[in-house]
C-alpha cells in the first residue's frame, strides 16, 4: 500500500515537472521579441534583460491563472512585460543622448571634451540579441537608435501605448485592457505621443535600404582608414549629427563633423582597423586604433544612420567597457 502511495505521488510530481517544462518551452520562444520590447521601453540592454527575467518570473507565478480562451500566450506575456517596464520606469529616469539634454551643439570641434558623469545613457542593442528584424515586433525602424531615443522623451505610459498600438498593432480596446485605461484614454495618449515624435522629426520607417547603408559605410571606412577628410565629408549630409556618449559634446554639420575627426587623427593617429558590427538593425563599426605596442586597442563602437545615400547621424560610444562586453568586442587586436 505504501509503495502504491509513493508511486502515485511520484507520478504526480513527474506530471507537474513535465507541465513546468512545457510552460517554460511555450514562454521561452518569445524571449527575443520580449527583449526588444523591453529595450524600446527602457533604452538599456541590461535593464531589458532584467525585465524579461522579471516577466517570466511573474508569468511563472501566475501560470495557474492563465486562461488561453481570454488571451494567447504571446499577448499575455506582452501585457506582463509592459506593466513590469512601467513599474521599473517609476524608479528609473529616461536614458538620453547628448543632443537630448537641452544643450546647444558645439561650434568648436577642438574644444575640451566634457564627461557626463553618471548619466545613464541610451544604449545600442546588438542585432545578435534580437530575432529576424523582418518581424513586425522586431522591425528595423522601431529599434533604430534615433527612434528609441525619441521614445525616451515620452512619459512611460505614452511610450507603452505607442509601442503596443504602432509597433505591435494592438487595437485600442486591447491596449486599454492591458494598461488599465479606457479606449478613449489610449487614443488620447497615442495622439500626444505621435505629436511629440513629429516635433522631433523622427519617423519609424525613415531609414535607407540595407544594401545602400552598407555601401555608404564601406566608403566611410575607406575614407577613415586613409585619413581622407575630404572624401569622408562627401559622405555626410549637410545637417549630420555627431554624438559621443559619455561626453556631453555634440556637433551638427559637415564642417564640425570633419573637424572633430581631424582632431581624432591629430591626437590618436591615423592607423585604424574597423570591424563591422550590427546594432539596432543599423550599420555599426568597432573602431580599433594603433596602440604603439604592435597591436590595436578598442577605441569605440560607432552606430550610423544612413538616408538617401548620406550619413545623417553617427553615435560613437567610447570608454564604455560594459557596452563593449555586451557586443562581445575584443579589447585588442593583434
Architecture (CATH level 2) of domain 1-92: Orthogonal Bundle (1.10)
Coil vs helix vs strand at 194:
helix
Q: Distance (Å, rounded) from C-alpha 312 to C-alpha 129? A: 25
* Residue 281 near residue 146, CB atoms below 8 Å: no
For the chain, the C-alpha Rg in angstroms (whole number) is: 23
**HSE-up (13 A, CA, CB side) for residue 305:** 24
Q: Distance (Å, rounded) from C-alpha 95 to C-alpha 125? A: 14
Residues of the chain with pLDDT under 70: 1-21, 131-141, 202-209
CATH class of 210-333: alpha beta
pTM given for the model: 0.87
Q: Distance (Å, rounded) from C-alpha 307 to C-alpha 295? A: 34
User: What cell was used for 200?
Assistant: 522631433
Between strands 250-252 and 282-290, the pairing is: unpaired
The pLDDT value given to residue 15? 44
Beta bridge partners of 7: none
Q: Which fold does the domain 145-203 belong to in CATH?
A: Arc Repressor Mutant, subunit A (1.10.10)
Q: Distance (Å, rounded) from C-alpha 125 to C-alpha 144? A: 10
Q: Any idea where the domains of the chain sit in the sequence?
A: 1-92, 145-203, 210-333
Amino acid at each position: 500500500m505504501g509503495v502504491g502511495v509513493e508511486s502515485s505521488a511520484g507520478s504526480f510530481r513527474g506530471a507537474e515537472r513535465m507541465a513546468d517544462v512545457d510552460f517554460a518551452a511555450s514562454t521561452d520562444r518569445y524571449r527575443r521579441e520580449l527583449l526588444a520590447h523591453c529595450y524600446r521601453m527602457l533604452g538599456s540592454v541590461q535593464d531589458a534583460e532584467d525585465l524579461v527575467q522579471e516577466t517570466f518570473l511573474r508569468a511563472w507565478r501566475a501560470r495557474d491563472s492563465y486562461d488561453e480562451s481570454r488571451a494567447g500566450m504571446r499577448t499575455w506575456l506582452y501585457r506582463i512585460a509592459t506593466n513590469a517596464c512601467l513599474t521599473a520606469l517609476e524608479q528609473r529616469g529616461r536614458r538620453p543622448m547628448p543632443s537630448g539634454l537641452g544643450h546647444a551643439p558645439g561650434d568648436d570641434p577642438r574644444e575640451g571634451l566634457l564627461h557626463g558623469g553618471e548619466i545613464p545613457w541610451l544604449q545600442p542593442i546588438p542585432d545578435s540579441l534580437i530575432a529576424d528584424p523582418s518581424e513586425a515586433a522586431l522591425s528595423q525602424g522601431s529599434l533604430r537608435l534615433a527612434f528609441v531615443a525619441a521614445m525616451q522623451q515620452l512619459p512611460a505610459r505614452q511610450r507603452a501605448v505607442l509601442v503596443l498600438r504602432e509597433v505591435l498593432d494592438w487595437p485600442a480596446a486591447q491596449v486599454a485592457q492591458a494598461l488599465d485605461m479606457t479606449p478613449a484614454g489610449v487614443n488620447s495618449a497615442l495622439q500626444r505621443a505621435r505629436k511629440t515624435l513629429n516635433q522631433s522629426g523622427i519617423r519609424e520607417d525613415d531609414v535607407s535600404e540595407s544594401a545602400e547603408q552598407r555601401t555608404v559605410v564601406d566608403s566611410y571606412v575607406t575614407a577613415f582608414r586613409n585619413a581622407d577628410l575630404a572624401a569622408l565629408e562627401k559622405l555626410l549630409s549637410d545637417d549630420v549629427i555627431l554624438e559621443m556618449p559619455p561626453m556631453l559634446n555634440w556637433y551638427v554639420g559637415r564642417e564640425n563633423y570633419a573637424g572633430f575627426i581631424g582632431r581624432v587623427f591629430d591626437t590618436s593617429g591615423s592607423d585604424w582597423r574597423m570591424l563591422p558590427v550590427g546594432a539596432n538593425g543599423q550599420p555599426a563599426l568597432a573602431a580599433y586604433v594603433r596602440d604603439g605596442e604592435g597591436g590595436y586597442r578598442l577605441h569605440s563602437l560607432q552606430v550610423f544612420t544612413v538616408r538617401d545615400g548620406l550619413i545623417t547621424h553617427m553615435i560613437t560610444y567610447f570608454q564604455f567597457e560594459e557596452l563593449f562586453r555586451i557586443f562581445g568586442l575584443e579589447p585588442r587586436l593583434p
